[in-house]
Amino acid sequence: MTPFLHTYARYPIELARGEGLRVQDEEGRWYLDGIAGIAVLALGHGHPKVKAAVHTQVDRLMHTSNLYNVGIQRELATVLSQLYGDAAVFFSNSGTEANEGAIKLVRKHHWRRGDPRHEVIVLDHAFHGRTLMSLAMTPKPAYQQGYDPLPQGVVVQEQHEAAAAVTDRTACVFVEPIQGEGGCRPIEVLPALREACDRHGALLVYDEIQCGLGRSGELVHSPAPDIRTLAKALGGGLPLGAIVAAPHLAETFQPGDHGTTFGGNPVACAAGLATLDTILADDLPARCVSMGARLRAGLQATGAPVTGRGLMQAAWTGGPAGPVVDAMRARGVLVCPAGGEAVRFLPPYTIDEGGIDELVDAFAGALREVRGGAAG
Ligand SMILES: Cc1ncc(COP(=O)(O)O)c(C=O)c1O
């Protein structure tokens, strides 16, 4: 009998170790990691700088709570603040917690201005997490079923209709600049959303949990939002999320308005700081652009439609993606589905040409095997 609640339909392998782009299962078989812990391991497995930072921090101090100042947390917040225009940062443990906190910040902002608002506009195919508010903002019946009542006030719009739906009642528009779980779909209407939010006094929130920190090829998605949420790559493999708020929101939360025991844990911050320093020092977003272009061209050559940006690409298989993902795993390559009918590629930013070609070859072979060569 399994000791778990049945939340995960796991693939039938157990991963025991990782090195760079590759992971090894318990039986000794190596795989190319094309999914990087679902967009977490920007630098791949066991990057020396991340490991050294974690070891040093573990030896020094593992946890203090947020009752006290935490030096390494401040260092990481300072890098983020500088990166995002003097932003003010709150650290959480996960993406969904960052999104919950962001919604609280949005509501508090309007409440402080004497104009309480709670209506949130989200887009079709969005994924914002699994806690109740994040789930309410994730318009997928299979995920929401059985959890009523979800928090009210979420309005779902097709991207090209979203700007026109913003009114003086809108608290915020919450959007992934490139949707992840929904199928690596770039959102083309961010300028129109920015303009509509400005016109109606609503806030614009970017959920950059999957596409952020350079994976899309851009460190900073524009136009600038009022709030961005980060997680995944932020902790370099350890659990860490963040709300990153524009300067005009820096005073919105006052002591006691929000908090967490573990958020901004020193070891997670050390791993995150080493990761972010490396992403910046090695200009890895540029690498995401060049490697992403190679990946995209290779996938398109199979005849499959491809969507995405940078090292966040989805190849649409013309049927359920699961069998293609399984056939790729049998060929020694790990990927996962997105949007039901797409195979999602989220490799480490450090992947090289050989790794990209291996991903493409495995996809092409698996697609031929499963669909008899027909894609689209
Ligand atoms: C865009 C986006 N938002 C939110 C989340 C939720 O993050 P977490 O799983 O860390 O709670 C995810 C996770 O896949 C995501 O991709």
Per-residue pLDDT of 270-279, as tens digits, reads 999 999 999 9
Q: Same domain, yes or no, for 219 and 357?
A: no
Residue 180 in contact with ligand 1 by CB distance below 6 A? yes
Which of 127, 187, 206, 221 for mutating ligand 1's site (highest number of atoms within 8 Å of CB)? 127
Residue 239 in contact with ligand 1 by CB distance below 6 A? no
Phi, psi of 187 (to 5 degrees): -95, 120
Per-residue pLDDT of 129-185, as tens digits, reads 999 999 999 999 999 999 999 999 999 999 999 999 999 999 999 999 999 999 999
Q: Same domain, yes or no, for 119 and 224?
A: yes
The CA distance from 360 to 345, in Å, is: 10
Nearest CA owner, ligand 1 atom 3: 128
Cα of 96 from ligand 1 centre, angstroms:
6
Element at 36 (helix H, strand E): helix 36-39
CATH number of the CATH domain containing 170: 3.40.640.10
Give residue 339's pLDDT. Answer: 85
Q: Is 6 a member of any domain?
A: no
Residue 337 in contact with ligand 1 by CB distance below 6 A? no
The last residue of one of the domains, among 250, 281, 312, is 281
Q: Same domain, yes or no, for 71 and 148?
A: yes
Q: Domain span at residue 247?
A: 48-281
Cα of 294 from ligand 1 centre, angstroms:
26
Residue 208 in contact with ligand 1 by CB distance below 6 A? no
Give residue 375's pLDDT. Answer: 45
Calculate Rg over the CA atoms of the chain.
20
Give residue 73's pLDDT. Answer: 98
Reported as a pLDDT band with limits 50, 70 and 90, residue 23 is very high
Task: Indicate yes or no: pTM above 0.85.
Answer: yes
Residue with tokens 């050390």: 270
Please give the order of strands across the beta sheet that includes 227-230.
Answer: 88-92, 241-245, 227-230, 203-207, 170-175, 119-123, 154-157
Reported as a pLDDT band with limits 50, 70 and 90, residue 269 is very high
Percent of the chain scoring above 70 in pLDDT: 99
Tokens of residue 63, six digits: 């946890």
Reported as a pLDDT band with limits 50, 70 and 90, residue 374 is very low
Task: Look at residue 376 and tell me whether its pLDDT is greater than 50.
Answer: no
Q: Same domain, yes or no, for 60 and 91?
A: yes
Beta strands in the chain (DSSP E): 15-19, 22-25, 30-33, 88-92, 119-123, 154-157, 170-175, 178-179, 185-186, 203-207, 227-230, 241-245, 306-309, 312-316, 333-334, 336-338, 342-345
Q: Same domain, yes or no, for 263 and 310?
A: no
Cα of 193 from ligand 1 centre, angstroms:
22
Q: Is 89 a member of any domain?
A: yes
Reported as a pLDDT band with limits 50, 70 and 90, residue 56 is very high
Mean per-residue pLDDT of the chain: 97
The last residue of one of the domains, among 260, 281, 302, is 281
